[in-house]
Amino acid sequence: MLKAQNRLGLVFFPAFDWAISPTHPEREERLLYTQDQVIEEGLLDIEGIIEYRPRLATTRDVERVHVCVPDVKSRTTESHLIAAGGAMVAAEAVIKGEVDRAFALVRPPGHHAFRIVHGARGFCNINIEAIMLEYIRQQYGPKRVAIVDTDCHHGDGTQDIYWHDKDTLYISIHQDGRTLYPGSGFLHEFGGPNALGYNLNLPLPPGTGEDGFLYALDNFILPVLEEFKPDLIINSAGQDNHYTDPITNMRFSAPGYAKLNDRLKPDIAVLEGGYSIEGALPYTNVGIILAMAGLDYSYVREPDYAPAKVSQPAEITQYIADLCRQALNAWRNREEIAAKLRSGQEKVQRHRRIYYDTEGLLETQTETTLICDACAGLSWIDSCTDQGEHILAVFIPRSSCSRCYEEGYKIFEQTPKQNFTHLYLQDRLKDILLYR
Amino acid sequence: MLVGLDMGGTHTDAVVIRDAKVWRYTKVLTSPHNFLESIQSALKEVLAGIPLDNIRRVNLSTTVSTNAIVEGKTAPVGLVLEPGPGLNPAFLACGRHNYFLSSAIDHRGRETAPLKEEELREAASAFRQRKIGHLAIVGKFSPRNPAHELAAAEYFKKDFPHLTLGHRLSGRLNFPRRVFSAYFNAAVADTYRSFAQAMMSFCSGNKITAPIYILKADGGTLSLETSREMPIETILSGPAASIMGALALAPTNDDAIILDIGGTTTDIAFLAGGAPLLEPQGAFIAGRPTLVRALLTRSLGLGGDSYTRVEGGGLRLGPQRHGPAMALGGPQPTPTDALLTLERINIGDPEAARRAMKLLGLQLGLGVEDVAEQILRQFACQIAVAVESFLKEINSRPVYTVREVLEDKKINPTHAIAIGAPANALAPYLEETLKLPVKVPELAEIANAVGAALSRVTAEISLQADTEQKVLLVPELGLKETIPASFNLATARGRALNLIRERARQMGAYPEQLEEVEITEEQSFNMVRGFWTSGRNIRLKAQIKPGLETIIRR
Ligand SMILES: [Zn+2]
Ligand SMILES: [Zn+2]
């Protein structure tokens, strides 16, 4: 019988009884054929591939990452909590050394969920990778972590959550935001003042083929990881770059995803998007599982796979090469860029409008962050929606220095309540969320 | 009257049950070289003087197929595999000669690469050259569309009379398991068929006109006639017979542990609400996973004859067996010697047993009784540890729906049922380590034969309907039909219940069982393409309710 070279933990949660709506891409059927393929391949009989049962993430696990308005219960369903809990189970198996790597094949996804959650965005309510990662840090101590997001959409939620965090390097490759939801993810989105350069985006042109993705991996992602030296690599393993995906315009493939995974060697992979449920997902997921387990994936391919379906024109090849060079340069010059940006400043502010496509809700945010040399810096967000919510949320980071900590409580306690519908304080040192 | 017989490695046990009571039983030594003779002599003995017309059924549990595989006395098999994209299929090449086709079927049962006649021709000539008579033909996703397996069979049938088709063995997905199941089925076909033939001649020669049934690993039976087509189903029926026997002798509606304590091994099984748990996918045969439905058991290398010695300053029990207890003339101390030393059993030479304990006592600095006591405590402790880890594994099995995660259903045993020779003597020790009451039923030593006698026909079908493709399939029955777009879950249920009755009749089910059918799994998915619902994907499993003919009355 076969034996996996790397012991691989698998959490499979297809949520066969949950959908956003009956004909929505996030519906019961999404992972049905993937499960068929995984079972028919007999992957769970391979020695060293171990399936784990998912569990529910708790309110506290969610509040460690998010401020849900008005609360966690009203913004999540059980399926969201199980997807997050499934990712937590997978990661924990790796941290405890029960397996070498783990893959959480769960739904619904999470990488479009921001720190503040007023509703669902891009099929996501809560950020399952962030909930997983912060749980691991809370339980098992500080870690330097790289999140590599290979979903076709920019993971704007993950970017938002780790914007100020130098210990979490977020790298996203995705279809250029000028041509696809959510419209963000450009080179200049480079991280907050306390973590400049630790948020890296590579917006790939529509029509990027197998070679383009692997080029970006070899010439941008891997060199950066080599220098960052993470304790853990997490792959947000969206599969909507596939040439058959109905809602995107890329030309990636199952053999390509397997190769990418083989070279990236993530400790933990978490499924994100991917909506070609028959033509892509059964094959991409089998490819990723085999690559993670260190098994031969050279027989994995789509039935209709052909080189012409995954090729790219020469201009795209050239464009991607230039893009990788620019992005890598920016990463290598991050400290100079940061020094220039921070000089003479005490705090920075950014104003944003965030659209929640699923419920048609518009949020307006003003985020203020203290520049701090001692920690990731205190942030507070004034957020109001066109549905009448107006909140203030104060975020004391994991690594908070005493100045930022005290300042955070002062703002939370001294802000007059009458201007807001809710006031929140996320205190990561005490691991609690306070309401007023 | 019901007759049950279980042929084990050492003994062959037979019972006659009348009016829900064990009326007669016998135990003969199994002759390792002549299984047929062992069965026949046990049957003759237990039936002596009984009016044969009163026998309603004879149920046999045999190790004929298991032994043929373990001892490598199998026929050479040619494998024709259609692996499609996915895993590198090299590890499946378990036949004498293996041919991989380039054609393929996908997860919805659609042909993605056509069957090529030149490949079949090439395979056939390779098999002929190697004088292979038995073929197993297995395709990936063949339960979703058996067309390629059927077409290949059509091509091979004139030259190769013995064909096993993957989709007929099980409707469940798992290509490697389907390959191994089909391989074993083909490999034991000759041995099993000659056994079946000999049983039929024996019965007609001895005026036994009652129908004969063969035990399966899932604690059910099938008719001797049908078993000739699927000999693989007769494998590993021994542990199942014992579990069914324990259930007949100590019936319950609770969660419980079943322990079958033998000479070399202890088998562990669980009841959920009084029903034995099944292997989630199927039995392991000679280290290979298959789709053969089987009761879920774990075998622990610990029994009454386990080699007991001092190692690293402590006692070690098993997993080896070096012969019987010293009290019975064996070479090494065993737990049986400990039981005799403490006068908990009454077999063999007590002096030899004490000598065994003394041998160990000298190394441990303990008296004879203290050593014996310690051995039994450790014996019970090792069983409790194994039970706990097995239970943990079962209770952490994955689930795939929100509802199941929230229910978080777990097996929580309220008691243990112990059978096997040393069960009674060990019960107090087990109660201590398991922290549960331990019941040892009367006649526990022939539970296996009782289980055999009272088992009933079991059968399962998998129905799949795809209303977009307008196809309904039941692989186990070889059924494929066209359905209208309006076909839905309710229609599917009715159809599945009718079809499981048909399957039950094929397997030789008793008439009253045809009313005891049920749906065990059902799923219906809306298939959406673009913005529209294009059809429904319906999957059902139906079975004859498993269970016993009767429980034993006191
Ligand atoms: Zn996506
Ligand atoms: Zn600070």
DSSP string, A377-432: --EEEEEEETTS-EEEEEEE-TT--HHHHHHHHHHHHHS-GGG-SEEEEEETTTTE
- Interchain CB distance below 8 Å, B104 and A41: no
- Chain B residues close to A286, C-beta within 8 Å: 86-87
Q: Which domains does chain A have, with CATH numbers?
A: 3-335 (3.40.800.20), 345-435 (no CATH)
The answer on B384 and B257 residing in a single domain is: yes
| Token pair of B119 as six digits | 């490949």
Is residue B321 situated within a structural domain?
A: yes
pLDDT digits (tens, 9 = 90+) for B244-300: 999 999 999 999 999 999 888 999 999 999 999 999 899 999 999 999 999 999 999
The answer on B415 and B315 residing in a single domain is: yes
Looking at residue B486, its pLDDT comes to 93
- Chain A residues close to B173, C-beta within 8 Å: 36, 39-40
Looking at residue A93, its pLDDT comes to 98
Is residue B222 situated within a structural domain?
A: no
> Which of B100, B106, B290 is the best residue to mutate to test the A interface, defined by the most A CB atoms within 10 Å of its own CB?
B106
- Which residue bears the tokens 């019988």? A1
The domain boundary, picked from B418, B446, B474, lies at B446
Looking at residue A404, its pLDDT comes to 98
Name the helix (H) or strand (E) containing B156: helix B147-156
> Which of B179, B400, B410, B537 is the best residue to mutate to test the A interface, defined by the most A CB atoms within 10 Å of its own CB?
B400
Residue B209: is its pLDDT beyond 80? yes
Nearest to B401 among A17, A52, A246 (CB): A17
The answer on B267 and B343 residing in a single domain is: yes
Q: What percent of chain B has pLDDT over 90?
A: 82
Q: Is A112:A149 a contact under the CB 8 Å cutoff? A: no
Nearest to B289 among A29, A45, A295 (CB): A45
Q: Is A294:A6 a contact under the CB 8 Å cutoff? A: yes
- Chain A residues close to B400, C-beta within 8 Å: 12-16, 35
Domain span at residue B370? 250-446
Closest CA of chain B from A320, distance in Å:
31
Looking at residue A131, its pLDDT comes to 98
Is residue B206 situated within a structural domain?
A: no
A105-124 burial code (b ≥16 CB/10 A, e <16): bbbbbbbbbbbbbbbbbbbb
Looking at residue A435, its pLDDT comes to 93
Looking at residue B531, its pLDDT comes to 77
Residue of B nearest to A45 (CA): B289
Looking at residue A158, its pLDDT comes to 98
Going by the DSSP 8-state scheme, the letter that residue A56 receives in this structure is P
Q: Is B483:B499 a contact under the CB 8 Å cutoff? A: no
The answer on B307 and B167 residing in a single domain is: no
Residue ranges of the alpha helices (H) in B29-116?
A: 35-47, 64-70
Q: Kindly give the distance from the C-alpha atom of residue A273 to the centroid of ligand 1, in angstroms, as a whole number.
A: 4
CA–CA dist A404, B198 (Å, integer):
88
CA–CA dist B103, B112 (Å, integer):
7
Is residue B8 situated within a structural domain?
A: no
Closest CA of chain B from A30, distance in Å:
9
Q: Kindly give the distance from the C-alpha atom of residue A397 to the centroid of ligand 2, in angstroms, as a whole number.
A: 8
The HSE-up count of residue A284 (CA atoms within 13 Å, CB side) is 30
Q: Kindly give the distance from the C-alpha atom of residue A73 to the centroid of ligand 1, in angstroms, as a whole number.
A: 25
Looking at residue B26, its pLDDT comes to 94
Residue B103: is its pLDDT beyond 90? yes
- Chain B residues close to A55, C-beta within 8 Å: 405
Is residue B124 situated within a structural domain?
A: yes
Q: Kindly give the distance from the C-alpha atom of residue A128 to the centroid of ligand 1, in angstroms, as a whole number.
A: 14
- Interchain CB distance below 8 Å, A53 and B87: no
Looking at residue A268, its pLDDT comes to 98
The domain boundary, picked from B150, B168, B188, lies at B188
pLDDT digits (tens, 9 = 90+) for B130-139: 999 999 999 9
- Chain B residues close to A103, C-beta within 8 Å: none
The HSE-up count of residue B139 (CA atoms within 13 Å, CB side) is 30
Residue B188: is its pLDDT beyond 90? yes
Residue of B nearest to A39 (CA): B174
Nearest to B222 by CA among B23, B513, B493: B513
Residue B234: is its pLDDT beyond 80? yes
- Interchain CB distance below 8 Å, A286 and B107: no
> Which of A32, A40, A297 is the best residue to mutate to test the B interface, defined by the most B CB atoms within 10 Å of its own CB?
A40
Residues 164-203 of B with CB under 8 A from A: 173-177
| Token pair of B63 as six digits | 């190790």
Nearest to B356 by CA among B383, B324, B381, B379: B324
A431: left (phi over 0), alpha (psi -120 to 50) or beta: left
Q: Kindly give the distance from the C-alpha atom of residue B15 to the centroid of ligand 2, in angstroms, as a whole number.
A: 82
Is residue B467 situated within a structural domain?
A: yes
Q: Which residues of chain A have pLDDT under 70?
A: none
Identify the CATH number of the domain in which residue B141 sits: 3.40.50
Looking at residue B376, its pLDDT comes to 97
When pLDDT is averaged across residues B96-123 and rounded to a whole number, the result is: 97
Which residues of A are designated catalytic?
112
- Chain B residues close to A11, C-beta within 8 Å: 398
Find residue B285's DSSP bridge partners.
B288
Q: What percent of chain B has pLDDT over 70?
A: 100
Give the A:B interface size as CB pairs under 8 Å: 127
* Residues within 5 Å of ion ligand 2, judged at the Cβ atom: A 372, 374-375, 401, 404
Q: CA-CA distances (angstroms) from residue B291 to A94, B179, B184, B185, B393?
A: 31, 9, 11, 11, 20
Judged by a CB distance cut-off of 8 A, whether residue B528 touches chain A is: yes
SS3 state of residue B189: helix
The answer on B487 and B442 residing in a single domain is: no
Number of neighbours of residue B348 by Cβ within 10 angstroms: 19
Closest CA of chain B from A385, distance in Å:
30
- Interchain CB distance below 8 Å, A37 and B523: no
- Interchain CB distance below 8 Å, A27 and B86: no
The answer on B179 and B327 residing in a single domain is: no
The CA radius of gyration of chain A, in Å to the nearest whole number, is 21
Going by the DSSP 8-state scheme, the letter that residue B549 receives in this structure is S
The answer on B310 and B170 residing in a single domain is: no
The domain boundary, picked from B170, B188, B206, lies at B188
Nearest to B105 by CA among B136, B143, B155, B152: B143
The model's confidence at residue B12, banded by pLDDT at 50, 70 and 90, is: very high
CA A415 to the chain's CA centroid: 33
The answer on B488 and B389 residing in a single domain is: no
Residue of B nearest to A17 (CA): B401
Q: Kindly give the distance from the C-alpha atom of residue B382 to the centroid of ligand 1, in angstroms, as a whole number.
A: 51
Identify the CATH number of the domain in which residue B256 sits: 3.30.420.40
Nearest to A288 by CA among A32, A1, A49, A26: A49
Residue B163: is its pLDDT beyond 90? yes
CA–CA dist B282, B239 (Å, integer):
14
The answer on B430 and B536 residing in a single domain is: no
Q: Is A278:B535 a contact under the CB 8 Å cutoff? A: no
| Token pair of B469 as six digits | 């493709």
Is residue B517 situated within a structural domain?
A: yes
Q: How many domains does chain B have?
A: 3
The answer on B370 and B338 residing in a single domain is: yes
Is residue B441 situated within a structural domain?
A: yes
Residues 14-73 of B with CB under 8 A from A: none
Looking at every residue in chain B, the average pLDDT score rounds to: 93
Residue B10: is its pLDDT beyond 90? no
Residue of A nearest to B539 (CA): A32
The answer on B532 and B478 residing in a single domain is: yes
Residue B418: is its pLDDT beyond 90? yes
- Chain A residues close to B85, C-beta within 8 Å: 283, 299-303
Judged by a CB distance cut-off of 8 A, whether residue B396 touches chain A is: yes
Does the predicted interface ipTM exceed a cut of 0.90? Answer: yes
| Token pair of A7 as six digits | 């012991």
Closest CA of chain B from A313, distance in Å:
28
- Interchain CB distance below 8 Å, B177 and A22: no
A237, A241, A246, A248: CA torsion to nearest 10 = 110
pLDDT digits (tens, 9 = 90+) for B46-70: 999 899 999 999 999 988 898 889 8
The answer on B344 and B263 residing in a single domain is: yes
